[in-house]
Amino acid sequence: MLEKVDLKKMMMKEEYKQVAEGLKARLSVLQQSIKANKLPVIILFEGWGASGKGSRIADMILNLDPRYFKVTSFIEADSAERRKPLLWRYWEKIPAQGQIAVFDRSWYQDISVAKLEQDVDDGEIARRTESIKTFERQLADDGCLIIKFFLHISKKDQKQRFENLLSSKNTAWQVTDRDLKRNKHYDEYYEVLDQMLTNTNTDYAPWHVISSHDKNSCMADIYTILVSSIEKAIAQKREEYKPLPPESPVILSPKFTLVEMPKLQDIDLNRTLSEETYKEQLKKQQAKLSVLHNKIYKKRIPVIVAYEGWDAAGKGGNIRRVAAALDPRGYEAIPIAAPTKDELAHHYLWRFWTRLPKTGHIAIFDRTWYGRVMVERLEGFCTSEEWHRAYQEINEFEKELYDWGAVIVKFWLHIDQDEQLRRFTERQNTPEKQWKITEEDWRNREKWPQYEVAVNDMLRYTSTDFAPWNIIESNDKKFARIKALRTLIHAIELRL
């Protein structure tokens, strides 16, 4: 892609002024349309050192209302960031609906300079490249506009700019030994960067490679592309929406191996434990888990435990028995309620990406990202197209966590309708438990058949070989607690 760029492209000052004036005004107006249409926008700048990324960004944002954009400069990940998944720090910064995020460098440094400077092998570069493409596709599918610029200059031009900066003590600090080394090995970096651009140039997030030799020409191209891309995105957003029929088939990538799961109606719920056996096993299994918690901390293995289940299935009590075995400094129990206003303005996975544990720590989610294909599906909080797409997105999310090194343990706590009614009635008639029962619980109970269909679909489409579902028979809470502990212990032992 780089060889196609005309590095000698020039534009005289008067011509630039004439062209840019209208584009700048249009960009300012479009920012209001972005806000009105709730369009999230990412404007990403990559390019050679000394290609002018900072000054181009500075010029561009002069035309924008600072209340509705934020500039983030990404440098090499620090030690804390390296204890999270590769894409975690970028997910944290994605814009809300109606906002613009401007990135000075981005996730692309993890597949470009990383290959030459961090001893990352070709296999890992290929994996990261696919992760980035998946990330961008998920954002684009959710309605985010991604505009990617690569500012290109020649080796000779770059060297001259470095020399100009070094000639003054006021600017010499801007040039590092690494910058000079990169210029010396320009051809090697050229090959890697060109491959990166080619491999990640997609329909949903295309690259715009621009000559940055001449500032006027460069800024004219940037403004033209910004205005054109935003106008097109807003026009598409205003097009009449054609809903996907709910009965449409779910389409999954063949790259995932699914684990066959039984349907809920075929689960034997007559599994019990005596009180004596329960107490004995609880003590034994908690002691095992406590030892394992120390081991995963030392080996920096993250663990993610996801709890889903019927209302009143005993998730809270089950979580408490797991947590009782853990060092409180090394785990967090995360209750997931209805999304806040800010969470609703982001991609639905955003609030889960931002709550992931550090390496060596455990995150226990009380309800999870699977709300997308259950309550959001049935209550109409997302479109049919969105929940159909979510099975693939969730598998991709969990694969990212698995590739990062996480142990993923997913529980569905299963009870029958009679047991749920008994527990609901007990809660309602017990003053200290009444806070646990709401009108919404009763309404959800009336939709049991619809929820059962949704849960069976969830188990069918998202039980993968790297993150399988575990159905916990929970009519007897004692049996359920011990089975969950044993399942979690087994998963950790396998990884160790």
How do residues 181-225 score in pLDDT, each as one tens digit? Answer: 999 999 999 999 999 999 999 999 999 999 999 999 999 999 999
- Count Cβ atoms below 10 Å from residue 274 Cβ, excluding itself: 10
What are the DSSP E strand ranges found in 300-358? Answer: 303-309, 331-335
State the amino acid at position 319 in one-letter form: I
Token pair in block for residue 191: 């090959």
Give, in order, the Cα–Cα distances in Å from 332 to each of 91, 304, 328, 485: 20, 10, 8, 17
Token pair in block for residue 67: 């209340």
Q: How close are the terminal C-alpha atoms of the chain, in Å?
A: 45
Q: What is the dihedral of CA 309, 257, 82, 353, to 10 degrees?
A: -40
Token pair in block for residue 347: 């991609």
* CB 91, CB 410: distance < 8 Å: no
pLDDT at 429: 87
The upper half-sphere exposure of residue 43, i.e. CA atoms within 13 Å in the direction of its Cβ, equals: 23
How do residues 38-64 score in pLDDT, each as one tens digit? Answer: 999 999 999 999 999 999 999 999 999
Token pair in block for residue 280: 């004995």
Distance separating alpha carbons of residues 448 and 456, to the nearest angstrom: 12
Query: Which residues are bridge partners to 73 per DSSP?
Result: 104
DSSP secondary structure of 166-200: HTSTTTGGG--HHHHHHHHTHHHHHHHHHHHHHHT
**Within the chain, which residues score under 50 in pLDDT?**
none
pLDDT at 437: 84
Residue 206 region by backbone torsions, left for phi larger than 0, else alpha for psi between -120 and 50, else beta = beta
pLDDT at 438: 85
Portion of the chain with pLDDT greater than 90, in percent: 92
